[in-house]
């Protein structure tokens, strides 16, 4: 059995993968947008990544390497230099509406549909992993990149005021980290 090599992704392999998948998606009338680490890199991060993350309206007609828990499939795309892992995210869970709206609001950068910085922050918050927090804080720390008021509006529009209430304290912690402020922890206890 041949071992697939999913080392760190170089620019050339990333672009070949995006071009291949973009053409296949466009040919099959599938809406798609770049997300994840590569999107954060395009917004200025020097982070490294091993794969390509794309959100989409439906699955590709490719052989699946596995099913993603939150909805979607893992694919492998062969480029000139390497085999690239791709998470093709379609969401089939409670967060699906957020992903669908993020896809509708995607912008085009260098002829590639990509999530807006605001949607990247929201979706990374939903994903909830430590590296997602790092990416979200990075995006929020870039002066003029993310409109924080817009994040609140977007969450309320897709969810509700109650949804915003559920997001608020965690996102405020991210805002404080991005601004270099020490988080003030207040205990919510009442003496009895």
Query: What DSSP line would sit under 6-30, residue for residue?
Result: --PPPHHHHHHHHHHHHHHHHHTT-
For 73, other C-beta atoms within 10 Å of its C-beta total 19
Share of the chain above pLDDT 70, in %: 91
CA distance to 28, 74, 98, 157, 189, per residue, from 84 (Å): 21, 10, 27, 36, 50
Grade residue 8 by pLDDT with cuts at 50, 70 and 90: confident
Provide the β-strand partners of residue 74: 66, 87
- DSSP 8-state class, residue 117: H
In the numeric block, which tokens belong to residue 45?
């991060």
pLDDT tens-place string over residues 22-69: 999 999 999 999 999 889 999 998 888 888 999 999 999 999 999 998
Give the separation between CA 43 and CA 67, rounded to whole angstroms.
Answer: 28
pLDDT tens-place string over residues 141-155: 999 999 999 999 999
Give the angle 155-41-51 at the CA atoms, nearest 5°: 95
């Amino acid at each position: 059995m041949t071992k697939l090599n999913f080392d760190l992704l170089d620019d050339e392999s990333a672009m070949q993968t995006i071009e291949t998948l973009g053409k296949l998606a466009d040919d099959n009338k599938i809406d798609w947008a770049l997300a994840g680490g590569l999107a954060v890199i395009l917004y200025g991060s020097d982070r490294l990544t091993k794969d390509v993350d794309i959100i989409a309206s439906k699955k590709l007609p490719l052989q699946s390497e596995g099913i993603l828990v939150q909805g979607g499939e893992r694919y492998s795309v062969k480029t000139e230099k390497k085999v690239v892992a791709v998470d093709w995210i379609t969401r089939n869970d409670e967060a699906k509406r957020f992903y669908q709206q993020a896809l509708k609001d995607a912008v085009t950068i260098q002829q590639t549909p990509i999530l807006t910085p605001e949607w990247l922050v929201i979706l990374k918050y939903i994903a909830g992993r430590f590296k997602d927090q790092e990416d979200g804080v990075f995006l929020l720390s870039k002066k003029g990149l993310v409109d924080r008021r817009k994040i609140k509006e977007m969450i309320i529009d897709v969810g509700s005021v109650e949804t915003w209430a559920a997001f608020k304290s965690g996102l405020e912690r991210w805002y404080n980290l991005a601004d270099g402020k020490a988080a003030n922890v207040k205990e919510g206890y009442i003496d009895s």
